[in-house]
Chains A and B, each alone.
Chain A
Amino acid sequence: MKLQIDKKYIAIYATIAVAVLLYVAVGIIYPNFFGLRVFVNFFRDNAFLGIIAVGMTLVILSGGIDLSVGSMIAFVSVMSAYLIENSGMNPFLVFAISLACGALIGFSMGCLIHFFNAPPFIVTLAGMFFCRGMANVISLESIPINNPLFKGIMKFGIVLPNNIKIPTTVIIYLVVFVVFLFIMHFTKFGRDVYAVGGSAQSALLMGLRIGRTKVLIYTLSGLLSSLAGIAYILNTPAGYGLAGIGTELDAIACVVIGGTLLTGGVGYLAGTFIGVLIQAIIKTYLTFSSLSTWWTKIAIGVLIMIFILLQRFFSQVTRLSKAGGEVIFKKLGPVGRT
């Protein structure tokens, strides 16, 4: 019997190997690390990041980028906290309003990108400043949430043996992940996303509705970021205008580490799931060793750089082996743009 490895999945296997190596390495330094409680905490502390990363995977697969996700967390958290505490609204109604706002902002950005042919990064950069600005306009101070119903939702969870609880946020994350796994692999929309990212021109010639797909992708990303905002306040029950700074890079890192190419069209949602797990392991390690939080940022920055370099290396090797003619392009150097 010879072990067959599908070339398609090689990036995911590499990511899984890195995750397992990191997990075991940290586990050897800190034996407590192997417990189920720590494992559940990986998901509890990073549920909001995971939810965002799912949306970011779609955006990057389609060849775009969304920089507004981190500010969306701040916007949604402050708005929800304000509506629940200062206006005394029902939390569930507030959640619905938040999701609608997120989807609307995502939809607007998608429209700007598609109909006016604007570069995604500048549109979403504007979205980033808009959301952060709106968060500050609503409140400059942190607003703690003390609503009893909200606290009830926070405390809800599935209790495992040993008194370990799987909280609401983790359930939301896992449900989102499974739903999008289904969408990406078994629906027409999922294949459209890959087609648009692979080559928008060919997709257009094939008769795909590119516009609808693109706008829907950014709408979904906006919707998921606002859901992440809700998950964020369910974890730390306060709305704050400085929440989620730098989350956009974390989410992009999860996607890239998960083997999705930044140029679009190649990658899997499952890889992103592992990418989130790797970040969770690094963050937990840094908490265990009580190093400065800036090290987390630096570690993630360096890790994402290493993965990008590896991707370039592998894609150039395969290109070279495919055709000799490609050598010219390799010598010319990459000419890609955002």
Chain B
Amino acid sequence: MHFLGTLIWPLLALAIILVFNAFFTPIMFQMEIKDGHLYGSLIDILNRAAPVMLMAIGMTLVIATRGIDISVGSVSAVSGSFTTVLLVLDHMPLAYAIIIGLGVCALLGLWNGFMVANIGVQPIVTTLIMWVLARGIASLFAQGQTIIFENPRYEFIANGFLFGLPFPITIVLALFLIAQLLTRRTALGLFIESVGCNPIASRYSGVNVRMIKQGVYVFTGFCAGIAGLINTANIKVADVTRSGDGLELDAILAVVIGGTSLDGGKFSITGTIIGAIVMQTLTTTILTNGIPVQVTRVIKALVVVFIILIQSEAFRVKVRGLFWRREHEAANR
């Protein structure tokens, strides 16, 4: 029951959106099996949410250490750019191209971690620099070009099926299980939470604070790299200026909706996954109801403000005070 306690809010949000859709766009719930593959709007939502889910899994751990990484969108453009250029222009084998692409992303994550953990620069500033720098690197490596490609094996990352499920969903499941096992079946999760609660006390109790911090940023860079591969393989174009643009807010939102506090110290990867699904369902709902795409950013910004308010102690006290007073007055009358 306690386990469900933290997840009740994101699940409730998801339920509300789904009920709304059940009335207005029932077509969303149709599902069918074609050639042994699962098709349908709901599967589509999961599939589309995959890049954000991947980024958000990493982001959850970063936020749990009281950090933030707003460079994930740009870093995802780097893996897309590197892998595509190496594969298409340099005719490198796919496996090597992917390993190099993801490796560069992990390196960029390491740089973020180094600046935050060893130099002590605020995470927001470090990753803001990387936000610009990574896109610059991606653009320079692709020499400012938008590369179009045809490669069935590369496209499999985004459009393939494994065990009847779209491949991106399989990747997310695998990464989710790994992260969940590492943080919940070993002491690593506890270390991450303790670093987020109190770095000095953690250090005194023998936790290697710097390594934990560096580790979470590297992991986030790696996750963003995979997300970038999916994004690029999906549209068969390595578009360095637009790929992954704006996904950082989606990832942060997914984490925060999932119940991970921005003050660090506690996290829930399961919550994050649900949060990402909530975000994507919201976006799909907006689109299927014929509201222009441009409005989604404004709506998302308002959702953030709403969540900030709910998370704020001061706000809750005020709202509670409002209701209490009313009950009081009613009783007096």
Contacts and interface: CB of A to CB of B under 8 A. Distances in A.
A122 B119 contact: no
Interface in B291-308: 292, 294-302, 304-305, 308
B68 A312 contact: no
Contacts of A294: 135-136, 139-140, 144
A115 B314 contact: yes
B312 A332 contact: no
B192 interface: no
A326 B199 CA distance: 17
A127 B292 CA distance: 20
Interface stretch (B46-54, B125-133, B216-224, B269-277): B125-133
Given A133-B295, A252-B125, A301-B136, 16 more contacts: A112-B305, A116-B309, A116-B312, A116-B315, A123-B305, A125-B249, A133-B297, A246-B132, A249-B128, A298-B140, A301-B133, A308-B121, A309-B119, A335-B200, A338-B122, A338-B124
Given A116-B309, A252-B128, A294-B139, A333 B297 contact: no
A122 B252 contact: yes
Nearest to A302: B133
Interface string A294-308: 110110111011001
Interface residues of B, number: 54
A117 B314 contact: yes
A65 interface: yes
A192 interface: no
A122 B209 contact: no
Contacts, number: 137
Given A117-B314, A337-B66, A301 B129 contact: yes
A67 B122 CA distance: 14
Interface in A109-155: 112, 115-119, 121-123, 125-127, 129-130, 132-134, 136-137, 140
A248 B128 CA distance: 9
B308 to A, nearest CB: 5
Contact of B308 (A65, A122, A133, A137): A122
Interface of B: 66-68, 70, 115, 117-125, 128-133, 135-137, 139-140, 144, 199-200, 203, 209-210, 246, 249, 252, 262, 292, 294-302, 304-305, 308-309, 311-315
A133 B120 contact: no
7 contacts: A118-B308, A129-B298, A133-B299, A137-B298, A292-B144, A297-B132, A297-B135
B309 A130 contact: no
Contacts of A133: 294-301
Contacts of B131: 249
Interface in A317-338: 332-338
A262 interface: yes
A337 B124 CA distance: 9
B304 A137 contact: no
B125 A308 contact: yes
Contacts of A136: 294, 297
Given A125-B304, A249-B129, A297-B132, A262 B121 contact: yes
Given A126-B304, A137-B294, A252-B125, A117 B136 contact: no
Given A116-B315, A129-B246, A294-B139, A334 B119 contact: yes
A262 B299 CA distance: 31
